[in-house]
Homo-oligomer: A and B are copies of this chain.
Amino acid sequence: MLSLHQLRCFLATYEHRSITAAAEELGYAQPSVSEQIRGLEKTLGVALFRRVGRGVVPTTVADSLRPHAEATIAAAEEARRAVASVVAFETGTIRFGMFGTARLYAGAGLVADVLARHPGVRVELIGQNSNDVQEDLRRGRLEAAMLAVPTMSSEGMHVIPVARDELVYISADPERLQTPVTAQRLAEASLVMPETTWRAEDSTRTVLRQMLHETGRNPQTRIEVEDVETAVELVGMGLADSVIPHGAAVQLIPRLAPKAGWVSLRPQQFDTLAIVHRAGATLSPAARLMIELATARIQAIAEPLAPR
């Protein structure tokens, strides 16, 4: 079997026209290099050097092999260098999962943070769908993610809560923002909810369902839309009210619904934002980097939670 080691010994010998000199350069004893050359000649089935008393002389086959041997060694070195550069965050891809409101108001900033520190990397922020993200985590396609999670930890997953974000009632009608909104009022309200919020396995869904369930009523949504932005716009147009995380409200209402405002629920409800990864996994430097930066971003906006 052809090996890089054989090619390295071959090249050193070819260049020095001497096995002894090659061994010295490579830091081996002379018989070791001699053996590698012999092995290479055997695998190729052809003599590469003529042993002529004292000294060796390359054959024309050696002349032909040399550039290919150099190219192969160079390719291997390049492979090593490429990996090193990825490890050093100079190149390569950093993949991180981020779903729910977290991505909404921290995603772009997080990517900016990463690129500011490591301009050469590609960043993939995965988070089209909360189910997919959890599935990706479970299957190992994603190493770590920041999610809005139910308070209990998922099976086989390690969950580190880093912040909580209050769920606030938003409306374009100042009347409805005078006092905190009770479950009763919430159940009677005409709501627009982003579908993802209801369907996804995150804490918003769990929290609100639970709150409404206590009134004995099912969630009443007049309108269901895909994303939070659309919901906020509809609130701004006075067509319905909604419940969204405070962080999203701060960011979206001035831009999309300047006439709307927000008020707490009563009792207060919170989304829990947490770092999630497979239990027992050793995190890569890239994952640790993303966790650190994402946590900092989130905690600058939402209310930090002491880990555990």
Contacts and interface: CB of A to CB of B under 8 A. Distances in A.
Interface of A: 1-5, 7, 44-47, 50-52, 55-57, 59-61, 63-65, 68-69, 71-72, 74-76, 78-80, 82-84, 86-87, 91-95, 139-141, 143, 278, 281-282, 284, 286
Which A-B residue pairs are the 10 nearest by beta carbons? A52-B140, A68-B79, A57-B140, A72-B75, A60-B93, A50-B140, A75-B75, A64-B86, A71-B75, A64-B92
Nearest to A69: B79
Nearest to A44: B83
B143 A50 contact: yes
A72 B92 CA distance: 19
B83 A61 contact: yes
Contact of A71 (B52, B65, B78, B84): B78
Given A71-B78, A74-B75, A75-B75, 12 more contacts: A1-B4, A2-B79, A47-B282, A47-B284, A51-B140, A57-B139, A57-B140, A64-B82, A65-B83, A71-B75, A72-B75, A72-B78
Integer count of this chain's copies in the complex: 2
A308 B231 CA distance: 103
B5 A3 contact: yes
Nearest to A156: B53
18 contacts: A1-B4, A1-B5, A2-B79, A44-B87, A45-B87, A46-B284, A52-B140, A56-B140, A57-B139, A60-B86, A60-B94, A64-B93, A65-B79, A65-B82, A68-B75, A68-B83, A71-B75, A72-B72
Nearest to A45: B87
A135 to B, nearest CB: 12
Most buried by B among A56, A82, A91: A82
A164 to B, nearest CB: 30
A67 B91 CA distance: 14
A285 to B, nearest CB: 9
A199 B75 CA distance: 51
B46 A83 contact: yes
A63 B95 CA distance: 12
B1 A44 contact: no
A291 B182 CA distance: 104
Contacts of A72: 72, 75-76, 78-79
